[in-house]
Amino acid sequence: MTEQSQPQKTAKTESLEEFQVEAGEQLTTNQGVVVEDTDNSLKTGNRGPSLREDFHFQEKLSHFDRERIPERVVHARGSAAHGYFQAYESLAKFTKAHFLQDPSIQTPVFARFSTVGGSRGSADSVRDVRGFSVKFYTQEGNYDLVGNNIPVFFIQDAIKFPDVVHSIKPEPHNEIPQASTAHSNFWDFISLVPESTHMILWLLSDRTLPRSFSRMQGFGVHTYRLVNAEGKFRFVKFHWKPLLGVHSLVFDEAQKLAGKDPDFHRRDLWESIEQGNYPEFELGVQIIEAEDEHKFDFDILDSTKLIPEELVPVLPIGKMVLNRNPDNFFAETEQVAFAPSNVVPGIDFSDDPLLQGRLFSYHDTQQHRLGSPNFANLPINQPVCPFHNNQQDGRMQMQVKTSRVNYFPNSLGQDQPAPSETEGYVHHSERVQGHKIRERSPSFGEHFSQATLFWNSLSAVEKEHVVEAAHFEIGKVEDQGVRERMVERLNHVDHELAKLVAMGVGVAAPKEVATQNHGQSSPALSQESLAVKTVKGRKVAILAADGVDAEQVTTIKQALMDAGAQAQIVSKFLGMIKSADGQEFKVDKTFLTSASLMFDAVYVPGGALSVETLKANGDALEFINEAFRHYKAIAATGEGVELLKKTSAESLQHDQGVITAKTSSHQSKFAKSFIEAIAQHRFWMRTLG
C-alpha cells in the first residue's frame, strides 16, 4: 500500500467517552465479521479491476444507496429533544388519564418542533408556522399532542388539506420558492378561500418568526374532549406557554439568518440543552362544559376559531422540561411518528372535521414514510408500557413474537392477549343521526370576526409588522387580480389595514365595506403581553481586540453568566487576544464566522488599543449598526463608547437601549442597566436612518 492511499490520521481532540464508543471496538460488517480495511476496495492488482466478491464494499455502498427515506410531506424540517412532563396537581375531576392524575409522576416526552413548508434541508428562520409535537410515553400508552405555534388553521375541512399544502409548497413547474409562502400560487388559493383569513393574519404577524423554539407558544388547535372516571366529558383546548416568554426575530434578521446560520433554531435548542438551560413549557387547558358547546358566537368545532382567554381562562396543569438532546438525529428525530390518533383513556376527540381527517392521515403517512406497518417497533415510537397484540407479520418486524396463536378468540392460547372491559380505551358514546351530505354547517360560515379581533389586539409595532409582511408576501405575487382580491379580503378585516397593504402592493385603496370592525380585542393575543423580561438563555457579543480592558470584560461576562446569559468574544481572528494588562482571552467567534444576527445584544469594552483596532474594522462597525437596526441592546464602557459614536448608536440614548459608562468605577450599575436592557428584548422606539 502506498503512503498516499492511507487516510490522514486526525489529531485526537475528544475523548472516546464523548463519542460513546467502547474502547477496543472493532469495525465489522452488519453480519459481525471484523473488517480488515475500509479504505481500499478489493482489486486484482492495485489498479484493478475490482472484484465482485468484496462483500464489505457491497454492503457499505448498498446501505449508503438507501440511506434516505421520504421526508415528511409537511413539517419536513424539524428538531427535537427528550424531557419529561409533570402535572401540578391531580386533574381527576376532568380526566381519567393516569399521567394527569398523579403530580409525583414524571412522564417521559419527546418533543419535535418544525417549520411547515420547507424541505428537510431548508432554513430554520423562514416566515412559517411552527409545528409543536409532543409524544408522552405514559403508563397507559403513548399520547401525542400534535400542535402548532398558532391556535387556528387555514381550513375547516381536512379534504382541503392537499390543496392548501400544494399551494404553500414550491410551484410545481420550477420548484420555486423554497420554504416561503411569498408566491403567486399560495396567495391565489388564499384569496379564493375566505375561511383562511384569520390564520393569514397570524401568518403575517411576528408569530411566524420565533426567536427560538423555547420562546414560542404551542396550541392543540382543535377542540378535544377530556373524560373522567365517571364517563363525564368536557371539551378542552390545549395550550403550551414557554417559561421564557414569547419573543420573535425581526423579518430582516430572519431573512439574513437563513443565509448566515440556516440551523439557527436547531442550534439554539441543542446548545441550550447542552448548557443546562432547559426549555420549559407550561401546559394549560381551556375547559368547556359539555352543555356550553353552543354558547359561543362561533362553532367550537371550527379550527379557524380560537376561544378567547377572556371568555374561558387557561388553567395551568403541568410543566414540560426538555433536558436531553437526541443521541441520533435520524433514529429519533427523523423516525419519530406522531399521530393525533394516539390517545390514552381520558382524552378523546371532538367532531371537528379537520381533526377527523388528521386521525387518518398521520398513520397513513407513517406507513409510506417509514415503509412498514411495524413503525411502532422503532425505539423512539415504542410505548414504555407493555404492548401485545396479534399483529405479527409485515416488513421489518423487530419483535420475535413467540405466541403460536395470532387470532382472537382462541382456545389454544387461552384467549391471550385479551381485551379488557375495565381498562380498555372506550370512545365517548353519543347518539348521532343525519343525512349523508357534503356540506358545511352554517355555524362555520363567518370568517372575519376573529381575524379582526386578532388585528385589534396587536400593538402598533405588531400591526406595522403585519403590514410590512403583507407588502413582502403579496408583493411577490405577479398577478394583479390576486393582489386585488387579497386587499379586498383584508378590507373585510379592517379598512385601515387594507388601505395600508394596498399602498405597498400596487393596488388602489379599497372603499370601506359595510362590515365594520367590531372594536373588540383580546389582550392575550398580542405577543407583547406574553414577553418575559429575562436574559436567561440570551447571547451577548463582546467585541474586542488586543489591548482590551480585562477587568471590564471579566465583570460583564460574570454578571451575564450570573443572570443566565452567555457572552462570547468576537474579534478579527480566532485564537487568543491579550488585554492591556497582559491577560489572555479566548476568541469565540470572528467577524467572519458570526454576525450580530446570532446575538441578542452587543457590548464594546474599553481599552484604547482594542477600540482603535475595532474603529478601523468595517465589520465591527457593521456588527453594531446591524444590531442597532434590529432594535437590540448595545452597550459600551470606557473607550468603547468612542466606537459607538462612529455607528448608528451615536446618540447614546439610554432609553433607546444604548447603555454606556465612561469609567470602570460604574461597572456594577452599568452591568445592571445592560442586563435590564437585554431583558427588554427590542427597543422599537429607535428611529432608523
- Contact residues: ligand HDE, CB under 6 A: 72-75, 78, 112, 114, 131, 133, 146-148, 153, 158, 161, 221, 303, 338, 354, 357-358, 361-362, 365-366
DSSP label at 630?
A: T
Tell me the closest approach of the beta carbon of residue 453 to ligand HDE, in angstroms.
20
Q: Measured from the CB atom, is 88 or 270 closer to ligand HDE?
A: 270
Minimum Å gap between C-beta 602 and ligand HDE is: 35
At its nearest, how many Å lie between ligand HDE and the CB of residue 289? 23
For ligand HDE, the closer of residues 201 and 542 by Cβ is: 201
Nearer to ligand HDE, 199 or 565 (CB): 199
- Which residue, 356 or 534, is less far from ligand HDE as judged by CB? 356
With cell 402592493, the residue in question is 505
CB 182 within 8 A of CB 168: no
Grid coordinates of 55:
462483500
What is the number of the residue whose Cβ is closest to ligand HDE?
131
With 0-12 CB in 10 A as exposed, 13-18 as middle and 19+ as buried, what is 5? exposed
Residue 303: phi, psi to the nearest 5? -75, 0
User: Considering beta carbons, is residue 189 or 251 the nearer one to ligand HDE?
Assistant: 189
3-state secondary structure of 183: coil
d(CA 508, CA 497): 13
Shortest distance, position 72 Cβ to ligand HDE, whole Å: 4
Based on CB atoms, which residue is closest to ligand HDE, 73 or 405? 73
When the beta carbons of 146 and 544 are compared against ligand HDE, the nearer one is 146
Q: Quick one: cell of 96?
A: 381519567
Dihedral (Cα; 307, 308, 309, 311), 10-degree rounding: -90
Catalytically annotated residue among 56, 75, 82, 98: 75
Q: To the nearest whole angstrom, how small is the minimum distance from the Cβ of residue 87 to ligand HDE?
A: 22
SS (H, E, C) 478-490: CCHHHHHHHHHHH
Of 681, 320, 311, nearest in space to 524 by CA: 311
Q: To 5 degrees, how large is the angle CA 102–CA 107–CA 111?
A: 140
First to last CA, the chain: 65
To the nearest whole angstrom, how small is the minimum distance from the Cβ of residue 209 to ligand HDE? 18
Catalytic site residue from 148, 325, 374, 491: 148
75 catalytic? Reply is yes
Please confirm, yes or no, whether 148 is among the known catalytic residues.
yes
Q: Are 41 and 50 within 8 A, CB to CB?
A: yes
Contact criterion met (CB below 8 Å) for 185 and 191: no
Q: C-beta of 37: minimal distance to ligand HDE in Å?
A: 40
Q: How many helices (H) and strands (E) are present in the chain, helices listed first? A: 16, 18
Task: Please state, in angstroms and rounded to a whole number, the distance separating the CA atoms of residues 81 and 100.
Answer: 21
Annotated active-site positions, please?
75, 148
